[in-house]
Structure 1
Amino acid sequence: MKLSHDIPLTPIDEALEILRTSVPRITGSELVTLADACGRVLTEKLVASANVPSHANSAMDGYAVCTRDLVGEPIKLKVVQRIVAGQVGKPLSEGEAARIFTGAPLPEGANAVVIQENCSLDGDQVEILKMVEPGENLRKVGEDIQAGEILLEAGHRLRPQDIGLAASTGLTQLLVQRKLTVAVMTTGDELVRPGVELKDGQIYNSNYFMLSALLRILNAEVIELGVVEDDLVSTMQALEEAASLADCIVSTGGVSVGEEDHVKTAVEAVGGLELWKLAIKPGKPFASGKVRDT
């Protein structure tokens, strides 16, 4: 479909809506490691495969006790072991306590932890200065996450905290939407790659590096088409090549009405134009369309 040159300028909000409705959604999924998953979009529900925590553990530094032993005046228990995070203690017998630290598994026979500020140690005897209730100062099995719980829905864009959540359940990979592939095409006989000595009339191709950096922030896979010469045939060939490689083509330059602006004409020749000229300055000579289904 060709547009006449006298078509009214399109307001920016209307143009954005046209772009949103005309661009097809990508399909396909891939497994990625947690290290590569941030910013990607889940394609299936994230379901917890394990309880977090997987075992009852102490929420405080103190002494693991059985509340049935907290009788009499004064209340004194024999300290028979020391348990730190990562260790598994031995079962407690009647009248015994265990020195325990935050995150350490609760030993069998204990049902509460008395914080160290409410205890007084004398040799291997600990005096309990304040009573506790069963379950006090503990993290129970599955208190944070229960096995089978839906943690995140499909379609969720993963944030750093989501990666930590997945790791806490033991996952190493996530199924996410494949990356959008974007072919970036710059036009202009005057453009050269940075690092090359400039000749008279030349400028560095800064637009490609800016656009590719912006696209990579969005987790797009960038395909560099290089600089396309300012002629219609080369532009048409570049567009057709890009359409065979990518989901989307982004070009810069060549969409105004100058004699060397060939992109708009090339799109109309090998595809169709859906949008041209915005009611905004700078940026009025903006065009959008399709080459094949791209």
Structure 2
Amino acid sequence: MSDCCSQPGLLPFEQALAQMLEDITPVAETITVAVTQAAQCVLANDIVSPINVPPHHNSAMDGYAYAQSSLEQSTTLVMVGKSFAGAPYQGEVKAGECIRIMTGAKLPSDCDTVQMQENCTADNNKISFNKKSQQGQHVRYAGEDVSLGHKIYEKGHRLTSVDIGMLTSVGVGKVEVYRPIKVALIATGDELKSPEQPLLEGDIYESNSSFLAPMLKKLNCDVINFGIIADDLSKIRQAFISADEQADVVISSGGVSVGEADYTKDVLDELGEIGFWKIAIKPGKPFAFGKLANSIFFGLPGNPVSALATFYQLSVHGIHKLQNAAPIKRQRFKVKTTTLLKKSRGRTDFQRGVVTVNAQGEMEVASTGSQGSGILSSIARANCFIILEQDRGRVEIGELVDVELFDDCLK
């Protein structure tokens, strides 16, 4: 590989992502769950509709149903019955006749048109039609929404709340899905403290697991939190051994840099294999990917912005692959920047920004300010990543940049 980076040994972002995905083998085990419990699960089979939706022709309005041809002779028809949702009219509707019909009620086979009640005048059972109608107006046809045998969702689709409603509407009560994967979280560092613990000189609060855990749960992962592990080689080794025995994925934060007390890489070398370590990205250069005996491993940097950015841009894609989920397709689009963006060539930069619409109706983006890897507020204030290419340098106000709006995982 030719080195196109400013620092030797750094793997380009796109190459790292492709290599990681190639090295991940999806889970094969499936389970059957009630559809009401299947939100965020990944389908193990295509789902086809067992019925038509709607199941029969029905009215889209409260009004009167009739055959359009009846109005060719007279604008007044005789009402012979009523049709309600769940209580359809059972009789015949002859020429010159109509029925009262409610929204959602079944349309008799003799009728092909509905006129809304506001355009009609009733005199006992004599209904006068004050406005012309067209055949088929205000009629919802059987299968108009979903037809019998239509493929609703494909294998690998991750079910959303709306999807659950859709499946319920066609009578699907259970679905076969891939089993949830288990993810172990490990935070390393003598300086880390849990919330509400007093901070001594040099200490900081451990925040990475607090945002990683809910993001993982949005991906339907079962999270095993090992908490904070001290910078001790034997303790880190034991944590990794235990995590590998329990989980499909082990995610550590911290310890993948080059400091004297950064033992994570040493433990990974001992217990598994490193696919790559150090990527040409900012923030998050020391991101590591590898394999343990029973699990895959993501080594996130300790700084919170670096940890979040690499998890979102790399690990989430890997988790989707492991879950058998369809690949993520995040939308990127070009907009003008209203702020100067500092950048050095050599690494793909994921800066944090806010996309807005200006008075002219055009989208534009502004930086959230200081882009330091420890400034988590730079993401808290953002709604997108500003993605600056590896070979690009400083960006002036008014230049076009690629932006990627945050998806549900980051909201």
Q: TM-score, normalised by structure 1?
A: 0.86
Distance 1:93 1:13, change over 3 A: closer
Shift of 1:200: 4.5
Q: Does residue 76 in structure 1 map to residue 76 in structure 2?
A: yes
Shift of 1:281: 4.3
Deviations 1:128-187 (A, max 9, x none): 345656654322322322222222221223344433321220123322222232111111
Give 1:212's aligned residue: 213
Deviations 1:113-136 (A, max 9, x none): 233354332232112345656654
Q: State the distance in 2 between where 1:282 and 1:129 align.
A: 69
Contact 2:45–2:176 at 8 Å: present in 1 too? yes
Q: Does residue 176 in structure 1 map to residue 177 in structure 2?
A: yes
Distance 1:237 1:116, change over 3 A: same
Matches within 5 A, 1:90-129: 90-94=90-94, 95-107=96-108, 109-129=110-130
Contact 1:26–1:247 at 8 Å: present in 2 too? no
Contact 2:43–2:156 at 8 Å: present in 1 too? yes
Q: State the distance in 1 between where 2:135 and 2:286 align.
A: 72
Q: State the distance in 1 between where 2:159 and 2:196 align.
A: 37
Give 1:233's aligned residue: 234
Of 228-237 and 105-114, the range deviating more from structure 2:
105-114
Q: State the distance in 2 between where 1:287 and 1:194 align.
A: 27
Deviations 1:219-245 (A, max 9, x none): 322111121121111111111111111
* Runs (5+) with no aligned partner, structure 2: 1-6, 296-411
Of 271-280 and 222-231, the range deviating more from structure 2:
271-280
% identity of equivalent residues: 39
Contact 2:80–2:93 at 8 Å: present in 1 too? no
Give 1:278's aligned residue: 279
Contact 1:92–1:110 at 8 Å: present in 2 too? no
Root-mean-square deviation (Å): 2.6
Letter of the aligned partner of 2:287 in structure 1? F
Give 1:54's aligned residue: 55
SS of the residue 2:122 aligns to? strand
Shift of 1:189: 2.2
Q: State the distance in 2 between where 1:143 and 1:213 align.
A: 39
SS of the residue 2:279 aligns to? coil
Give 1:13's aligned residue: 14
Letter of the aligned partner of 2:153 in structure 1? L
Q: State the distance in 1 between where 2:135 and 2:279 align.
A: 69
Letter of the aligned partner of 1:41 in structure 2? V
Deviations 1:185-231 (A, max 9, x none): 11112222213333444332211112222222333221111211211
Contact 2:82–2:88 at 8 Å: present in 1 too? no
Letter of the aligned partner of 1:43 in structure 2? A
Give 2:344's aligned residue: none
Q: Which has the higher contact order (CA 8 A, sep 6+)?
A: 1
Shift of 1:97: 2.0
Contact 1:44–1:153 at 8 Å: present in 2 too? yes
Q: State the distance in 1 between where 2:152 and 2:81 align.
A: 37
Letter of the aligned partner of 2:241 in structure 1? E
SS of the residue 2:211 aligns to? helix
Letter of the aligned partner of 2:28 in structure 1? T
Q: TM-score, normalised by structure 2?
A: 0.63
Distance 1:7 1:249, change over 3 A: farther
Letter of the aligned partner of 2:276 in structure 1? L
Letter of the aligned partner of 2:227 in structure 1? G
Q: Does residue 162 in structure 1 map to residue 163 in structure 2?
A: yes
SS of the residue 1:127 aligns to? strand
Q: State the distance in 1 between where 2:22 and 2:204 align.
A: 36
Larger of the two Rg values belongs to structure: 1
What is the total number of aligned residue pairs between the two structures?
288
Give 1:290's aligned residue: 291
Shift of 1:273: 1.7
Letter of the aligned partner of 2:88 in structure 1? V
SS of the residue 2:43 aligns to? coil
